[in-house]
Amino acid sequence: MDFTFKFILHFLATMMLSVVLTPLVKLLAFQIGAVDQPGARRINKKVMPTIGGLAIFIAFTFGCFLQFHNYAFMHRVWGILFGAVIVVVTGLIDDVKELSPGQKSIGLLLAALEIYFIAGLRMDTISIPFIGMFHLGWFSLPMTVIWIFAITNAVNLIDGLDGLAAGVSMIALSTIGIVSFFFLPDAIGPFMAMFIFLLVAAILGFFPYNFHPATIFLGDTGALFLGFMISVVSLQGLKNVTFISVLTPMFILGVPITDTVFAIIRRKFNKQPISSADKMHLHHRLLSLGFSHRGAVLTIYGLALTFAFIALLMNYASKPAIVLMVVFTTIGLELFIELIGLVGENRQPLLKTLKFFGNSEYRHEYLLRRYEKKKAEKEQEKQDKN
């Protein structure tokens, strides 16, 4: 049988198995108490089953066995799946009993160590443009663990609306799969691409149940699993890190990374613990601006697709073009973040700067306020001295 045709069959089989498994996992969720209760920080208005990620994981594992059991690549697949099992079990326990952040971190740490020592996926070197390449040495381990933790938790953080994390993950994984096929060495690229697209197939089968109005959630079982898998498959391109191989996954994962980074900045400004929860994430802000549930999700999909397109362009562009893309994307992203108030409605440094130079009335009012403020401060100082 033709290799490509066989993969298409396995892709469809994986997707259909996910379609069949999801209702069964839904029944299991109610049996074991893996449900999400409505609350102040919840979008759902009724009790919802979680652990939807379990259906994705089982279908994906089945698809991998079908596709790779006759190939040496299966050895690498088992290495990655063993780490994934640790993450799925951690998420499953959390969905049923709600683990503390520290307990979940132990599970992620064990999975990251398994990926580093057993699967053999790690960052070994890093190349800084115009400076040179550096071997990470012993620093390779913490860099790999940090990468897995950061991406896994970033994907978990955006799992706040129906279909959001699943859709963004499919966009990110599909982009990584395309990059793997065309830019990784021939010995590994096609196999890694098929591995990634089998995961996309498993998510596709689950997706109709999860898109608004959802009948089942990913839960931490699914969100942690998808984040972990994205971090691991992107590590293949980061094995010998170059400027472009660092930027590519960072742009592909632009949505979850942006949401996480600005959540940290926001909590620092507000003097809150970084681990504290709030309703100021990207999807929350879009909803507060009047977007419908689906409208907010589709807007974030559009943002994820934009990041993915830029990531693909970077692999064909020259270094000066890449620098320009990074600069203009950063400016555009900052404007978007300030417009929706992701850090805070009054924290708009770039917009205020543009208004200052582009609007004479605003500039006059701003300078007048500064003058009056300084005048009031001087008068207060005189009163304090007297």
Q: Which residues are annotated as a binding site?
A: 156, 220
CB half-sphere exposure, 42, CA atoms < 13 A = 12
> DSSP string covering 263-274, please?
HHHHHHHTT--T
CA angle at residue 212 from 209 to 213, to 5 degrees?
Answer: 80
Distance of CA 101 to the CA centre of its chain: 18
In whole angstroms, give the CA distance from residue 110 to residue 328: 39
Beta-strand relationship, 240-241 and 132-135:
unpaired
Binding-site members for Mg(2+) are 156, 220
134 strand-pairing partners: 126
Contacts of 91 (CB under 8 A, 6+ apart): 51, 53, 107, 219, 220, 221, 222, 223, 224, 225
Alpha helical stretches, state H, the chain: 3-32, 53-68, 74-97, 101-114, 140-157, 164-183, 189-210, 219-237, 243-252, 254-269, 282-288, 293-314, 319-340, 349-358, 360-385
> DSSP string covering 82-118, please?
HHHHHHHHHHHHHHHH---HHHHHHHHHHHHHHIIII
User: Are 142 and 99 within 8 A, CB to CB?
Assistant: no
Place of tokens 């663990």: 145
